[in-house]
Structure 1
Amino acid sequence: METQQELEWGEAQKIVLSENLVATAKQQLLFLAEIDRNRGLYDDGPLLHIAIYRYKYCWLPLLAKHIESPVTENPLVVPLDCEWIWHCHRLNPVRYKTDCMELYGRRLGNSNVLSSTQGTSKEESEKIWDSMYPSEPYELVGPNNHSLQGFAENFLEAKQSTTNYDLISAVKRQNTFFYQVSRPYWKEDTFLEGAVARYKGFLHLIKRNKEMRINRFSVPTYDIDLIWHSHQLHPVSYCNDLVAIMGKVLQHDDTDSDRTKGQKLDVGFSETTAQWEETFGSRYWKAGAMYRGSPPSPLTVDKYKIVDSHHYSSAPSNNTNQNLIQLPQKLLVQVMLEIVDVRNLPSGHKGKLLVSFNKKQEDVFFNTKKQLRISSKTRGKQVAVFQCESNGELLLELISRPSFNFRGLKLAKVLGKTSINLEDLQNVASKLPIEKWLDLTCTANWSKPISIRIGLSLTPPVSAPYKLHFVSMLPFKKSYFSFLLPRRFQQFKCWTNINVVNEASNRIINIQTGNLSTEKTKSSINKKVIGRTASGKTHLLAELKGTVCSMENSNWMLQIKKTGDEDKRLFELFELTGTRNVTLILSIDSLFYY
């Protein structure tokens, strides 16, 4: 940053926020994940309408009473459905404040109130709720809740006045937000601390616009927006802080979602980016904080219709085979890279400049070479976004190409090279985007070394997902390889050999499956899964009896629960039971779990 830009950034960081927004953001992410598991609260259907009714006629009056005089010694725990509507209402801070003042004569804050995902005193809160609303259950979300079937007869008579704010539209505007902020690194302190610093910078820009009477629609990146939401979830503190910062309560306008080029959102983001980079001298984009695209299609099968109850079965406590399959641990980062400028080019240089980049070491996730234009030398900017392993070096080469190729000859020339050690920059670049000049090791001796200015941002490293493929082989008769197996497994009549390979097509597991038929089991066929390690040693991993697949020496059991046609879509329902309960729905085109 230049001196004036450093002063501006320092001034922005002096902004005082009265809440711990890192802690609030973490709690918000937990809550949004829980709402995402109860997707009926997203849709404009009976569940959402009941939740809005309960929020307006049950929760708000109870909250107002609690704020006036605490109704419980412990913090009051808000029911999940009411908390979701309250969450969306507070994200319009001006309207929420107006509604509270008109209905209750005061702002209803969240002091001495706990989220449903924190509810250590939920039983006490439930008793208070039941005493005030005996015909309306405390918990709404659940497969057997009678409020979902007969809510009309259980509704309270709405005698008191309430808000007419369009809460259904408010919910719809928020139902895709969690997808944008749901990746694991969003929970990391360094990422969120950087987001708070950037939120202060965002408020500083809006304050400057107000002082200069510039009417600009400022658009946040998603890390800034998460912190902005977190601030608004403390409605009293938010109002007080914003009045102190800029003399008024800042409205949160989330009504525009059209990202088409030239529309309000696109223009606002471009102007915010330009103002940020001019004011602070740093990149506005940040790795992991940009728009991910539209969320994937949600699960269409209603889990409450097909899951009757959860049954936890006892499982062997012996963990002999728990770590039988050892997979290498890899850490993954998302990288954003921009080549901002170049200096000290040889005098008289002509031609087009670009920078190629690739990982110096072998990388499972990024094994190609890509190119970027230099922003200062072209119209517009070009930013690369990619994922790679968190270690190793990124090799950059400055390449000069003539404006025209002579008779198809490739006359590109490498002017210089440099490299970036990702591990060295991780702590800094995962908090805030960095900019720095890098001197190149040049192929010729010039008076000054050529330098390129880069903008770089990394996400905090997280465990990389494993991508395994089942490669099915043709069935073999027992005689072909029964010598590989212990005698007790040679009673299998027909075998299928399956290899499990990773992204690099290296075999991780070899599985042989077969049908077991003996005199005792002529009326039924049992299936067993046997794993064979690289040393040739075999292990009985699982056995299928009827509809239950038990994992040998493991805490897990897989059971086929139901096969059917839900809304004319074929599906199979499985339940994986062990240290936690996981329901798997295998449809004709996707596999879902919750």
Structure 2
Amino acid sequence: MEKNQELEWVEAQQIEIGVDLVAAAKRQLQFLSAVDRSRFLYESPSLERAIYRYNAYWLPLLAKHSESPLLDGPLVVPFDCEWIWHCHRLNPVRYKSDCEELYGKILDNSNVKSTIGSSCSRETEEVWNELYPEEPFNFNSTSESQEDVSKVLSGLEKYTKYDLVSAVKRQGPFFYQVSRPHMGNEIFLQEAVARYKGFLYLIKSNREKSLKRFCVPTYDIDLIWHSHQLHPLSYCKDLKKILGVVLEHDDTDSDRTKGKKLDNGFSGTTKQWEDTFGTRYWRAGVMYRGNCPSPLVLNPYSASTNTIRDDVVSSQDCQNIVHLPELKTVEVLLEFVEVKNIPEGLKGNLFVQFMKSQPDAIFNSKWKLSILSETGVKQVASFQCEPKGDLKLELICCRSSNIPITRTPLTLGSVSLPLGLDDILVPSSKLSMERWLELKPVSDHVSSKPISLRVAISFTVPHPAQRELHMFSSRELSRWTSFLPSCTRMQRSKGWTQVTDEAGNDVINLQLRDSLKAKVGKNNIPTSKEVIGIKMSGESCHLAEFVKTGWSLIDGQWLLDLQQKSSEDDHLFKLVGKRLVRFYQGRKLDYEPKNCEKHNREQDFMSAIEFSAEYPYGRAVALFDLKFGVIKIKEEWMLVPGILTAFLLLHTWKKKGYNSLTVNEEKLEADTDHERVQKSGKEEMTMNLTNLSSSSTDLKANVSEGIAVVPIKEEDSKENITMSLNQDKLSSHCDQNTVKSGGRGNMVKSGGCGGCGAGGCGSECGNMVKSGGCGGGCGGGCGNIVNSGGCGGCGGEILAKSGGCGGSGGCGGCGGGCGSFGYKTAQPNEGKQTDGSIAGKELPAACGMECNK
């Protein structure tokens, strides 16, 4: 950051806001979470009914209370009315004009409390009942009569003409983008407020220079912007003081085609921010997550005493069987901005190779990334890793050799970047860093001046990592022992399956065998099969037995119920304890593919979805890749039942398939010969460990969350081969046919953003090299590394040329060209919105949101 840029940032932080925006953001997140658990307010007829109640009862009540308080304490807004009020206030200019037209002044929330977490609603309910005896205070979505729903607003004396139905539709997807664990963190929100002030400062500068620019926020900024707008009097007062006018929050423009208003908005905002403040605009954890997952059920779950049991296994009980050490993860966004003091003759093809200097269970390979000052292309890497150790950076020059089309790599220097908790969470870090790092030269090459690399890196707050477990049968291990040293400790008798963690450490050994249990008494139901486990301590334990309707797990504390599925949805079977878990074929909810992956592998996966009063529409807790024996588990309580369920399913997978998961015990026999990738030797082992499925024409990655998929090979001297990203991070991805490894997206693109623009949002459909824009979405298709095409028809651009993803057509509307690979590339934010949501809501970069539909 230059001195003048530092002064600009300091001046931006002098902007005064009359609201505690950190506290307001936390309240907003809590409220949006409650709305998301009550999705009847997203759709008709409940939505229309809530809009009627808002106009007919809530606004008049609020107007009376603002004139003369109706009770001593604060007024509590009914839940349904609060949601409509929330969406109305997020168009601050329209809300202001509506209030002034209908009630003569802005109706504020200064003496109003939300029903969420409020303990003083009784007084408000009494006042409500006196004024509106025919209308209950609490909204009941299940008791709507057709007569109630058919009430029309035109019969009211005062009501807003603003299209609140459309406003709700635009705001509905917002919570998914901001519902990540780090969003409510104090440090994260404080920095988000500082960035919001910087965002307002840019708009202020544009107005002072009479520049018409459409500024687009990232999701952290947009969360704070929304929080400010929810306090209408303060927002109007603050913005008039800062800008001279009330800043409009335009969420109606949804055309994110390349070159359009939203597309250009984000790239312009990114450039202006980085030129003005000298820091990176994109941040870890604030970019587009992809489209909201498709719902599994239309009607919310309601607890049943016949379903949920009290004698549930606790996480401590699970640890007695399987104990995994704590594993935390952070999301990292990395960019190499500039390099200086490069010796003459070595300038040109430079890139940075990076890896963790210490073993990392989540991120354990080498990857490379280009440098902005060298290529003129904004390229970023987004990945997940453990918050410990150092990130080792090596500056490499790919020099031309005498052999055409080949290049000889030369390492110019290296430096380490600490990523420990003490480095990330210190208040001064603000979860980001941008600085010049002096490289340590290699022994055979020393320049007169030390080479320096300008590195920009940001992180999210550490949170528990999803666990990834791998299952290997004894037959597989007999072939792979030399590649898996830990496997030598496993018993080799027929029928044993070993379970290992992310680092290859033993977790437990399992065997399905004929039951040795004798029949004793009339009430003792014999079983023909049982699962035996050997813990890492060497102690054996009885883990499951086949019973009348399925499998009893962990001494009957869980029942894997294999009875005919209910007609209420398409789940295959369920796991019942104190929690209810239903299993669905394919990748669902958070595991839903975000890229252009072909769907013919969906039958290989099974998603475990928990339903409860807290999560009435379900939340993903585990994913089974039955083809490769990989289990991803998000919750500790799911570890043991999840492992046992996956183990039992693997024995029926290849020979019997999903349709054979019935009560018939004969179909759950010990099948240790289920197939994996049809390869042999070390190549087979490598593919299994990295969880890659490959063919000569389509190389896909199914790697653990946060790991990119285009590793650098010693023999690979191709220039600028970058990596793809985790599918649910910066952008959507395409299956890319890279030279040696496939990718789910790209390491470079990222885009994504938050929400409406002070103007809208732009986006980018990035290719393997360029970045995607924050906020805009990309629906464009994506080609492979060699040519275009791809799902949705990436239009005739190859990766060596520029072009953005964007147009429509093809699979779900993918179209347009894919951006350049390493030469002239498309600029950030080339893309097309794909879900019709508010500006800035989507991120892009590698084409793909539409391709999943």
Label 1:543 to 1:256 Cα distance change in 2 as closer, same or farther (>3 A): farther
Partner amino acid, structure 2, of 1:458: F
Is 1:97 the counterpart of 2:99? The answer is: no
2:317 is aligned to 321
Is the contact made by 2:19 and 2:234 (CA closer than 8 Å) also made in structure 1?
yes
User: Which of 542, 560, 565 does residue 563 from structure 1 map onto?
Assistant: 565
CA positional deviation for 1:74: 3.0
Map 1:336-415 onto structure 2 (within 5 A): 336-403=333-400, 406-407=403-404, 410-415=407-412
Partner AA of 2:360 in structure 1: D
Q: Which residue of 2 aligns with 1:592?
A: 609
Residues in 2 aligned to 1:211 and 1:320: alpha-carbon distance in whole angstroms = 61
Q: Distance in 2 between matches of 1:47 and 1:353?
A: 58
Shift of residue 531, structure 1, vs aligned partner: 4.9
> What CA distance in whole angstroms lies between the structure 1 residues aligned with 2:449 and 2:407?
27
Aligned pair partner of 1:179 in 176, 181, 185:
176
Q: Which of 275, 279, 284 is equivalent to 2:272?
A: 275
The one-letter code matched in structure 1 to 2:88 is: H
Which ranges in structure 2 are unaligned for 5 or more consecutive residues?
476-493, 589-607, 616-853
Tell me the matched-pair count: 565
Deviations 1:395-439, CA, capped at 9 Å, x for gaps: 111111124662565511001111101125413686254221111
Alpha-carbon distance, 1:584 to partner: 3.3
Tell me if the contact between 2:400 and 2:407 (Cα under 8 Å) persists in the aligned partners. no
Contact 1:147/1:154 (<8 A) preserved: no
Tell me which residue corresponds to 1:446.
Answer: 447
Q: Using the alignment, how far apart are the partners of 2:582 and 2:127 within structure 1?
A: 38
TM superposition shift of 1:149: 7.2
2:557–2:577 CA contact under 8 A, matched in 1: no
Q: Does 1:39 align with 2:39?
A: yes
Q: Assess if the C-alpha contact under 8 Å between 1:38 and 1:141 holds in 2.
A: no
Deviation at 1:587, TM superposition (A): 3.1
Change in CA separation of 1:133 and 1:554 when aligned onto 2, cut-off 3 Å: farther
Deviation at 1:165, TM superposition (A): 0.5
| Residues 113 and 430 (structure 1), Cα distance of their counterparts in 2 relative to 1, 3 Å cut | farther
Whether the 8 Å CA contact 2:399–2:407 is kept in 1: the answer is no
Aligned equivalent of 2:501: 502
Structure-1 residue corresponding to 2:638: none
Q: Which moved more, 1:341-350 or 1:392-401?
A: 341-350
TM-superposition CA deviations, 1:533-579 (whole Å, max 9, x none):
22233456678876798876999888899932337x455466552xx
Q: Secondary structure at the match of 2:54?
A: helix
Which moved further from structure 2: 246-255 or 584-593? 584-593
Residues 1:556 and 1:161: Cα distance change in structure 2 (over 3 Å) = farther
* Partner residue of 1:244 out of 241, 244, 254: 241
> Relative to 1, partners in 2 of residues 1:129 and 1:343: Cα closer, same or farther, differing over 3 Å?
same
Shift of 1:116: 2.2
Share of identical aligned residues, percent? Answer: 49
In the alignment, the residues of structure 1 paired with residue 70 and residue 572 of structure 2 have an alpha-carbon distance, to the nearest angstrom, of 48
Amino acid of the structure 1 residue aligned with 2:368: Q
Q: 1:554 and 1:436, CA in 2 relative to 1: closer, same or farther beyond 3 A?
A: farther
Distance change (3 Å), C-alpha of 1:155 and 1:552: farther
> CA-to-partner distance for each residue in 1:123-177, whole Å, 9 max, x for gaps?
33333333333333333356xx323777448999943320010011111111111
Q: Note the C-alpha offset of 1:110.
A: 1.0
**One-letter amino acid of the counterpart of residue 27, structure 1:** R
Aligned-partner Cα distance in 1 for 2:306–2:87 = 31
1:200 aligned to which of 197, 213, 217? 197
**Does 2:537 correspond to 1:535?**
yes
- Specify the SS of the correspondent of 1:321: helix
> Radius of gyration: which is bigger?
1
In structure 2, the partner of 1:58 is 57
Partner of 1:24: 24
Distance 1:366 1:148 in 2: 55
The correspondence of residues 202-281 of structure 1 with structure 2, limited to 5 A, is: 202-281=199-278
Q: Distance in 2 between matches of 1:548 and 1:233?
A: 51
Task: State how far apart, in whole Å, the 1-side matches of 2:555 and 2:525 are.
Answer: 24
Q: CA deviation at 1:309?
A: 7.4
Q: Distance in 1 between matches of 2:20 and 2:374?
A: 43
CA distance in 1 between counterparts of 2:133 and 2:124 reads 13
Q: Structure 1 pair 116/544, CA: closer, same or farther in 2 (3 Å)?
A: farther
CA-CA distance at 1:329 after TM superposition:
0.9
Match of 2:415 in 1: 418
1:111 deviates by 1.6
Give the direction of change, closer, same or farther, for the CA distance of 1:51–1:586 in structure 2 (3 Å limit): farther
**Would you say the 8 A contact 2:55–2:158 is kept in 1?**
no
The one-letter amino acid of 1:232's match is: Q
Aligned to 1:122: 121
Matched-pair contact (CA < 8 Å) for 1:140–1:148: no
Distance 1:393 1:320, change over 3 A: closer
Q: Distance in 2 between matches of 1:310 and 1:117?
A: 29
Question: How far apart are residue 367 of structure 1 and its match?
Answer: 1.6
Superposed CA deviations along residues 291-311 of structure 1, whole A, max 9, x for unmatched, are 12212212234226x766797
| TM-score (structure 2 length as normaliser) | 0.61
- Structure number with the bigger relative contact order (C-alpha 8 A, sep ≥ 6) is 2
Which deviations, in whole Å up to 9, do the C-alpha atoms of 1:68-121 show, x marking residues without a partner? 233333322222222111111110001111111111222111122222222212
Distance 1:445 1:379, change over 3 A: closer
Using the alignment, how far apart are the partners of 1:531 and 1:298 within structure 2? 36
Q: Which moved more, 1:114-123 or 1:383-392?
A: 114-123
Deviations 1:171-207 (A, max 9, x none): 1111111111111011111111110000000001100
Separation of aligned partners in 1, 2:83 and 2:408? 61
How far apart are residue 7 of structure 1 and its match?
A: 1.1
CA spacing shift, 1:323–1:209, aligned 2, 3 Å = same
Residue identity opposite 2:236 in structure 1: C
Distance of aligned partners of 1:563 and 1:63 in 2 relative to their CA distance in 1, 3 Å threshold? farther
User: Could you say what secondary structure the match of 1:134 adopts?
Assistant: coil
The change in CA–CA distance for 1:249 and 1:521 in structure 2 (over 3 A counts) is: farther
The alignment partner of 1:138 has SS state of: coil
Matched, 1:300 2:297: yes
Contact 2:339 2:452 in 1 (8 A): yes
Give 2:462's aligned residue: 461
Q: Distance in 2 between matches of 1:281 and 1:194?
A: 16
**Contact (CA 8 Å) 2:196, 2:224: kept in 1 or not?**
yes
Decide whether aligned partners of structure 1 residues 592 and 77 sit closer, same or farther in structure 2, where only a CA change above 3 A counts.
farther
Structure 1 residue 280, shift from structure 2 partner: 0.8
Alignment partner of 1:107 is 2:106: yes
Corresponding residue for 2:15?
15
**Contact 1:316 1:553 (C-alpha < 8 Å) held by counterparts:** no
Distance (whole Å) between structure 1 residues aligned to residue 210 and residue 315 of structure 2: 67
Please report how far the alpha carbon of residue 65 of structure 1 lies from its aligned counterpart in structure 2 after TM superposition.
2.2
> Cα deviations across residues 212-259 of structure 1 (Å, max 9, x unaligned)?
100100001111000000000111111111111111110011123344
Which stretch of the first structure deviates more once superposed, 170-179 or 45-54?
A: 45-54
CA distance in 1, matches of 2:474, 2:144: 52
Q: Which residue in the other structure is 1:481 paired with?
A: none
1:422 alignment partner AA = L
Judged with a 3 Å threshold, the aligned counterparts in structure 2 of structure 1 residues 214 and 419 are, in CA distance, closer, same or farther, namely same
